[in-house]
Structure 1
């Protein structure tokens, strides 16, 4: 009987080990799994919760008033990926699931939103650069039909917060048109 009890205990411990890096009382936003690609820590400075101001551009080219939002980041899949969610004062909410795929040496970011539900999630790809910025791209035509990308950049990342900007850029990145910006403080 003692042997069976001991075996059940070991099996139970092994089953829970798969969640060692999940959110816990000690780590409410999870932890990076040491078996994950090293790049999973690219978003480490963003993990947690920030209070932010989100500003988007109107159709006429002027900027809307800033919207207060909470941007919450956490490790998911037992520390193998990163998820974020935004909770906006205007009732719009969104989020992303982020996985680094070593075969392509890129982040793949899948975005979803309560204001624009979609049966197929938009996907951005990119990397953290030497200057510390995280830059992601998705092909997108300009309203005039010109080929380009929608570029997302996290920058000025520190323990105090970070900034984010969404911009349409042409294929050479010489034409840059910002459409959305967010400033976050811890």
Structure 2
């Protein structure tokens, strides 16, 4: 009898928690779902949700473009569908990711970046949002010569089939830019 009561209580608790966190990553939704009460801006990332096969190209020390490398980039809804997390998996073992939260009071996305090759006690943060059909994020950064500016990240050509990503240093007026990293992604898996 105790065993039957135990099984019933486990079944009820499991159903309760499954309903309580219905938008979290699950077997039915491997990349989660947006929470219906989350800010509508959460859908800025809806076409990025899933897994992409990407070609990543960075600069060599001599400033020429390096040979591209194949990476995996995954996006999913987290915190019961109220934020977005991504992770990149690279062949050289340098993996990274971000947690993306929209803060309505400032009408901005805040993106907190982390990496296994550069662990830190304080995560760097990008701030930005939608600009037309793109998502643009900024992090203050001086140029090697000391000029004030930003590292700007732009997601563009965003569709259900993939997206482009560009990382570049820009001056404070954004009249000069120097691209340092570019990524082209093709969607290979979704919910």
* Structure 1 and Structure 2 fold alike (TM over 0.5): yes
Sort the Cα spacing of 1:17 and 1:116 in 2 relative to 1 into closer, same or farther, 3 A.
same
- TM-superposed deviation, 1:17: 2.8
Task: Extract unaligned runs of 5+ from structure 2.
Answer: 1-7
| 1:75-108 deviation per Cα after TM superposition (whole angstroms, max 9, x unaligned) | 0000000000000112110000000000111000
Asked whether 1:29 is paired with 2:12, we answer no
Equivalences, count: 180
Alignment partner, residue 150 of structure 2: 149
Asked whether 1:173 is paired with 2:174, we answer yes
Alignment partner, residue 3 of structure 1: none
Task: Extract unaligned runs of 5+ from structure 1.
Answer: 1-5
| 1:38-66 deviation per Cα after TM superposition (whole angstroms, max 9, x unaligned) | 11111000000010011111222111111
| 1:122-176 deviation per Cα after TM superposition (whole angstroms, max 9, x unaligned) | 100000122x100000000000000000000000111221100000000000110
Alignment partner, residue 82 of structure 1: 84
Alignment partner, residue 128 of structure 1: 130
Alignment partner, residue 5 of structure 2: none
Asked whether 1:183 is paired with 2:184, we answer yes
The two structures, once aligned, show a CA RMSD in angstroms of 1.8
By relative contact order (CA 8 Å, sep 6+), the higher-ranking structure is: 2
Sort the Cα spacing of 1:140 and 1:10 in 2 relative to 1 into closer, same or farther, 3 A.
same
1: CA distance between counterparts of 2:14 and 2:93? 42
Q: State the TM-score, normalized to the length of structure 2.
A: 0.89
